[in-house]
Structure 1
């Protein structure tokens, strides 16, 4: 039987982005093992703090899986080995994994194991295309990924847009790249029920919603400027809700909020439970995502799934995700964004059209589809 081991290290108690992808991929792969005739293994590396404390347990979310393999070193140490002693690396770590046929690196790295075929997920190329949007950790990805590509057998990515970038910027043969689109963490038929615990927002106030990490690439300052304009010029009743953890270089975004004459109408809510985020999506008058660059754009798909009309950028992967189910704007044009928001919140017929189109579009994406495309990619290595 084919043995496939996936790196689960990005999974955290409060997953977002890569962590959500890995958690959902593993869950869906696990349910397909019998149908697709393979054995799923999970590999995991402890965080540096846990390692220093000699706390080497798997996270609770990974305990249901049968075949778990712990690499007893944190990522910082294995990256040091990778950068300085790549030929010694397999001798130290390969025996921990019980010789899988395929090892899938999901954390911007796949190690040079000698006896396994190696798959690497590259989500996007922000670290090459937009180095001004990243921190010192992400800046190391370019060097590491280029090193790993020397022994990688197959690349997975999450959109045709990212595939084009990988071909162009990393000079990769298109036949080595397989696209596995993502899916929403919410099922299209979900019933959104308000949580029993209190929520720090009065839902009788209409609002414009943004959900994602608070960082420059998401272009939140332009959204704040558009909001200020709509408040001043059109006297809109809406609040602006920003939901997400602080990423890197977030200070200018909070400065923009503080300097807004309407700062009391702008609310930043940090990491919230899936149930609470779902409620905010479902009750939003409009979901706005003016990001400069995305590998996929999961919040847009989540908004469509839960019935929020969507405005998003006409760049990178976002038109690929939305199809004709959203209004697309130039993220560099504040007035274009403001006009689109005004159009959606003022025209109930347009809102309803976008809601209906978004829900239909969202049905095209599922984690089962992601997992099946991933298995198809794995098996292509063996033909």
Structure 2
């Protein structure tokens, strides 16, 4: 094959960034933004955005891309038509107008027929415990992901824990796996966040009184909100804190939805379901402490975000969370509400401990940057493009 005349053209599944500011959406948005900000001329991005759902936060997306680096292809079509369009020769490669490789960023895997692929595997939680997801997910996703990983030229993961699980469960050889931790720069950019007055109005609207604690994450079984509420009820017997939950309702959460509406904790627990992205950094900074009691994580971005804001964090040692938190956070057993409540009380009562954890967390978070992550992704793209040229 003759070498290309210009930089490699990389297609990226940008759909997660169009519809969510958390998790995979956050990763996809910040990755593309960071690649764009690097200003490099050795790669061109073509962003795939076809889906039926309406785009969330249009201004954020509009401001993201410069004409220099990225082009977004977006039309409203049902996602279930993607396999049919691919079969008819009108899939990802045709839609993006010719690409050298395609980066699959989401678990909703697009069918790619000819282009070489790179895939990001965020975690294998559904392989760790089948109770974390519903029956339809367990039926459809694992097989598709296993096939996508087998086909991919490279696999990108956010942690050594996810890399270990890939080797163990999918038999992926080590030299195909690239560990690229997420960044947290988005929490330190004051130009992208709500003002102090806007935050006060938000807290008043939701009835949040200080001091408050913060838990950020989609409400789903793996995030362990039920045990968190059990622990907070024990803690609240002797403390006046409000617990603020930020995150939408996910799957298998009807019981928790009912508990938040009618349970004994409802007077002291406030839920912000569709929080504007601009409020998250100041909401973290004003919290006395945060808690992320997850049963398993392939990374654990909320813990990193809390540290970046200087807010002491309580979390667990499950999955990759210790890779993120290091010695800068307080660890608890996610299945022991009494231990969790004790940690809440210790942080609430000890201002000196909070100050120490705030400083240690901010220092540790400084080692996680989206520019570094973007550079690592570019290195993967270039390596794959070189292999294509040599084939």
TM-score (norm 2): 0.85
**Aligned to 2:9, what secondary structure does the other structure show?**
strand
Report how far residue 72 of structure 1 moved.
7.7
Deviations 1:115-151 (A, max 9, x none): x321011111122222222235533211211222342
Partners of 1:258 and 1:71 lie apart in 2 by 38
Aligned residue pairs total 366
Does residue 4 of structure 1 match 2:6? Answer: no
What does residue 31 of structure 2 align with? 25
Equivalent residues of 1:24, 1:367 under 8 A apart: yes
What is the deviation of 1:293? 0.9
* 1:39 correspondence with 2:44: yes
Aligned mate of 1:209, from 207, 211, 214: 214
* Cα distance in 2 for residues equivalent to 1:176 and 1:338: 42
1: CA distance between counterparts of 2:44 and 2:181?
A: 23
| Counterpart secondary structure, 1:281 | helix
Match of 2:323 in 1: 320
Deviations 1:65-122 (A, max 9, x none): 553445885431224677xxxxx465755333332222111123253332x3210111
Q: Give the alignment partner of residue 345 of structure 1, picking from 348, 356, 359.
A: 348
Aligned to 1:151: 151
- Post-superposition shift, 1:9? 1.6
Distance 1:195 1:186, change over 3 A: farther
Quickly say closer, same or farther: Cα 1:346–1:79, change in 2 above 3 A: farther
- 1:237 aligns to what? 240
Write the distance in 1 (CA, Å) between the matches of 2:32 and 2:376: 13
Say if 2:66 is the partner of 1:67.
no
**Structure 2 partner of 1:85:** none
Distance 1:72 1:277 in 2: 29
The counterpart of 2:369, out of the listed 342, 366, 372, is 366
Q: How does 1:63-212 map to 2 (within 5 A)?
A: 64-65=66-67, 66-69=70-73, 74-79=78-83, 88=87, 93-108=92-107, 109=109, 111-114=111-114, 116-136=115-135, 138-139=137-138, 140-184=140-184, 186-188=186-188, 190=190, 193-196=195-198, 198-199=201-202, 200-201=205-206, 205-212=210-217
Runs (5+) with no aligned partner, structure 2: 1-6, 56-60
TM-score with structure 1 setting the length: 0.87
| Alpha-carbon distance in structure 1 between the residues aligned to 2:159 and 2:381 | 17
CA pair 177-244 structure 1, distance change in 2 beyond 3 A = same
Structure-1 residue corresponding to 2:309: 306
Cα deviation for residue 337 of structure 1 reads 1.0
Measured in 1, the distance between the counterparts of 2:217 and 2:264 equals 24
1: distance between equivalents of 2:260 and 2:90? 52
Q: Which residue of 2 aligns with 1:272?
A: 275
The corresponding residue for 1:251 is 254
- The answer to whether the 8 A contact 1:162-1:317 is kept is yes
- Report the secondary structure of 2:267's partner residue: helix
